[in-house]
């Protein structure tokens, strides 16, 4: 085998190994978040929600927290809408090996939507679910319910799944 061919193979192998290490490495953050999920978009109202799950990871900004939020936007999910009555709640789930089961839940939080320099705002929940001490080590996720009351008095929205992460 020529020196050039060996050098090219070495470079290719090094690149593949580096890619494998970088993609398989654990993320630096301890949270999983799904935000700006459109749950309803009709009649001049767009309802978006968010769900998040976090756990304590030493050396990072983290906590045993679950998140939910509800936001209103105008037609086509454009600019934020203020003064819309909204509600949110969450369930923290844990995978038991064959199904997702509720570990912790919250009551509804109600409030009005708004807009600030970062975008739409609305009722939110930040809930300390206790981490692995609450339901044991395993995979956890948050299912958030996010709703906005439309002009006809009908609640519009749905649920958002945070994604899951392993909590030990």
Give the mean pLDDT per block of 10 residues along the chain (168 residues): 45 39 41 94 97 81 88 96 98 97 98 96 96 93 98 97 94
- For residues 129 and 108, give the distance between their C-alpha atoms in angstroms, rounded to a whole number: 16
- For residues 141 and 66, give the distance between their C-alpha atoms in angstroms, rounded to a whole number: 8
For residue 129 the two structure tokens come to 């679910």
Phi, psi of 152 (to 5 degrees): -90, 0
Element (H, E) at 135: helix 132-135
The pLDDT of residue 10: 41
Are 146 and 70 contacting, i.e. CB atoms less than 8 angstroms apart? yes
At the topology level, CATH places domain 28-167 in: Immunoglobulin-like (2.60.40)
Report pTM: 0.80
């Amino acid at each position: 085998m020529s020196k050039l061919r060996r050098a090219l193979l070495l470079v290719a192998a090094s690149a593949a190994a580096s890619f494998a290490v970088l993609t398989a490495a654990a993320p630096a953050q301890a949270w999983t978040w799904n935000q700006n999920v459109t749950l309803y978009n009709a009649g001049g109202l767009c309802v978006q929600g968010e769900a998040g799950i976090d756990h304590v990871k030493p050396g990072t900004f983290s906590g045993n927290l679950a998140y939910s939020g509800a936001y209103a936007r105008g037609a086509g999910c454009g600019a934020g809408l203020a003064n819309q009555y909204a509600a949110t709640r969450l369930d923290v789930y844990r995978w038991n090996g064959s199904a997702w089961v509720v570990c912790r839940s919250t009551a509804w939080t109600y409030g009005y939507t708004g807009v600030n320099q970062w975008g739409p705002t609305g009722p939110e929940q930040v809930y300390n679910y206790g981490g692995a001490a609450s339901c044991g080590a395993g995979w956890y996720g948050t299912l958030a319910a996010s709703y906005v009351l439309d002009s006809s008095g009908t609640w519009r929205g749905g649920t958002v799944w945070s994604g899951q992460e392993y909590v030990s």
